[in-house]
Structure 1
């Protein structure tokens, strides 16, 4: 039952399976106690291979993973995967410090019985000790995470079908937070004593994670993403979904695309983020100091400026690799464009270095 988190992972690759792509990141030690980006790859998924975070086509997803792994040019076959936050029930509880592992497992199981709405036989549960409870050193804060076994087994199956071995199963939210620890170098004082709203805009969903003093205090998802831009390209220019995705990435659309299609989408994106920021500030005691854009849509030229103008908040585009060493073969210009969409894969790759 207790196999959701792992304290230490062997050398591995972080693999992010989104609704439109498979992204891989491999990190290494630069010899000075810091990270080096060794290699990365992004491979597009066939349409509807992954739907609402669920793997709908094992064959297509495993083939895409295999293709991305070959693009990486690595020999490493151990990988870390993540589940969407919506597929995981998580809860933080306080427990007495100094409990044995067996005593803690029994208490975790008792806690899980109270808040998991289905039989424990149907789920995988694990826990991780976070820290001593402030003002109460006799207690520790423990994160409990649970997910239905079938969600985990589907991801393990596509990895195995691709010839790889899943040795870590994480949660996308936690992987993003891990990568943020690198991307925070883009912010004043690395985000310490400040409130940062990370907005990961994918194809279908906008994932919001607000950190105060580098600790998560708020998460939310809302339906908005790059698919809306894709659908408008399809409607306006008569392209297939596959052609529209390629045209978005590589160009070749008519001259009116930027003014009549892309910029209205960017403004809609900025408005959605402004609403999310307002909702957060209205429902908590925090104000927002910075917004960090991640996900594929964050790479759209001018998106950060539009969000900053709409929200009147300092806005940056996430780049967890901005201040780490790069292997010689990596194209820094291309990486800067790809980096916002690699946050989850980067955070998963960091599990290699967990103590």
Structure 2
């Protein structure tokens, strides 16, 4: 299973996370990227735990429903594994080696880079460019993941009617989507923080001139808000999720539940930025982008901007794309922050 495919094809981007499957179908029309279709299908609790697929059939059924609803005829897909389950390393190798020779050399030296037996991992590599070590050397990005992580996703896509052609790294997919929108940020900022607020994990990415140079994960996310709603109003997990999405909760929800959660997000962002500043030459950023499901909370971007005194935007990787006329533009703006990975995966069609 290739992480870096050699031949461009049309791939559907499929992002499998703890609470849902997200799908994006991006095509090129008249030289511009075009969002033909997208969809989000909820998953029951326990189907995906800690980014591991527990019930591949349930995920496959969700993918099948999405394909039908989005009227997608393509059958090849790109999906991803989380960065925490992937080992990546940049190594220097002889420029003169062919890909076959390079792979043979990597496998011979694999025990230097990978702490697992080779028969338990999926491994791939890509030449990045000239090495700083010498004129006859190149930098090679090596990526390896435990085979079970990869096979779970291949099986889930197969259940849904898709063939997995690319297994990407989640952070690489998000970076690819981020690059689509970075030129649209006001004043062309040099140093941008992207904060991805997921279900149970928030990740800070620092981008310098559009390239990710730092990331840090924290165990905090939208799950905390869901659990607060459950406890406050005596709802099941599914009921809490539905009421949270449709904003059909009692009047005390905003002051008693949502505002404290937004303040917790602000604390997490501040803490993550301080960690970055303490380990770098910088003590400020030029712009902050919030992504993930919770970033669409009304008023959150304004609160963060006011407290940090830094311009804040909500992520929209489709901002420079043409959009299919059947897509609800208002709903897309609400969903876009949580579609970064799905969008970035769909863009593998154009590598």
Same fold? TM cut 0.5:
yes
The separation in 1 between residues aligned to 2:319 and 2:342, in whole angstroms, is 15
Give per-residue Cα distances to partners, 1:199-231, cap 9 Å, x unaligned.
111111012221212222112211000000000
Query: Does the aligned pair in 2 maintain the 1:5–1:127 contact within 8 Å?
Result: yes
CA-CA distance at 1:136 after TM superposition: 5.2
The separation in 2 between residues aligned to 1:289 and 1:351, in whole angstroms, is 29
Query: Does the aligned pair in 1 maintain the 2:94–2:136 contact within 8 Å?
Result: yes
Q: Which residue of 2 aligns with 1:268?
A: 264
The separation in 2 between residues aligned to 1:295 and 1:108, in whole angstroms, is 36
Structure 2 counterpart SS, 1:248? helix
Aligned residues: CA RMSD = 1.6
Q: Go from structure 1 to structure 2 and tell me whether the alpha carbon gap of 1:20 and 1:351 turns closer, same or farther (over 3 Å shift).
A: same
The separation in 1 between residues aligned to 2:187 and 2:87, in whole angstroms, is 33
Greater displacement, 49-58 / 62-71: 62-71
Query: Does the aligned pair in 1 maintain the 2:92–2:133 contact within 8 Å?
Result: no
Q: Which structure 1 segments of 5+ residues have no match?
A: none
Q: Which residue of 1 aligns with 2:286?
A: 289
Query: Does the aligned pair in 2 maintain the 1:271–1:310 contact within 8 Å?
Result: no
Give per-residue Cα distances to partners, 1:218-253, cap 9 Å, x unaligned.
122110000000000000001100000000001210
The equivalent position to 2:326 in structure 1, one of 325, 329, 352, is 329
The equivalent position to 1:78 in structure 2, one of 65, 70, 76, is 76
Q: Go from structure 1 to structure 2 and tell me whether the alpha carbon gap of 1:137 and 1:199 turns closer, same or farther (over 3 Å shift).
A: farther
Mapped pair 1:318 → 2:315: yes
Structure 2 counterpart SS, 1:339? helix
- Provide TM-score, normalisation by structure 2: 0.96
Q: Which residue of 2 aligns with 1:15?
A: 14
Q: Which residue of 2 aligns with 1:248?
A: 244
CA-CA distance at 1:314 after TM superposition: 1.9
CA-CA distance at 1:128 after TM superposition: 1.1
The separation in 2 between residues aligned to 1:57 and 1:163, in whole angstroms, is 16
The equivalent position to 2:90 in structure 1, one of 92, 98, 101, is 92
Query: Does the aligned pair in 2 maintain the 1:131–1:142 contact within 8 Å?
Result: yes
Give per-residue Cα distances to partners, 1:245-283, cap 9 Å, x unaligned.
000001210011111111110111011001100110111
Greater displacement, 212-221 / 305-314: 305-314
The separation in 1 between residues aligned to 2:289 and 2:133, in whole angstroms, is 32
Q: Which residue of 1 aligns with 2:302?
A: 305
Give per-residue Cα distances to partners, 1:311-338, cap 9 Å, x unaligned.
2222111101112111111111111110
The separation in 2 between residues aligned to 1:37 and 1:172, in whole angstroms, is 20
The equivalent position to 2:183 in structure 1, one of 173, 182, 185, is 185
Q: Which residue of 2 aligns with 1:30?
A: 29
Q: Which structure 2 segments of 5+ residues have no match?
A: none
Structure 1 residues 120-159: aligned runs within 5 Å: 120-133=118-131, 137-159=135-157
Q: Go from structure 1 to structure 2 and tell me whether the alpha carbon gap of 1:189 and 1:314 turns closer, same or farther (over 3 Å shift).
A: closer
Query: Does the aligned pair in 2 maintain the 1:197–1:210 contact within 8 Å?
Result: yes
The equivalent position to 1:236 in structure 2, one of 227, 232, 238, is 232
Mapped pair 1:5 → 2:1: no
Structure 2 counterpart SS, 1:154? helix
Mapped pair 1:204 → 2:200: yes
Give per-residue Cα distances to partners, 1:16-65, cap 9 Å, x unaligned.
0010010000011121x220110000010011100000001122111111
The equivalent position to 1:113 in structure 2, one of 88, 111, 114, is 111
Structure 1 counterpart SS, 2:140? strand
Give per-residue Cα distances to partners, 1:62-90, cap 9 Å, x unaligned.
11111111121111111111001111011
The separation in 2 between residues aligned to 1:199 and 1:210, in whole angstroms, is 9
The separation in 1 between residues aligned to 2:346 and 2:85, in whole angstroms, is 21
CA-CA distance at 1:188 after TM superposition: 3.8
The separation in 1 between residues aligned to 2:76 and 2:193, in whole angstroms, is 32
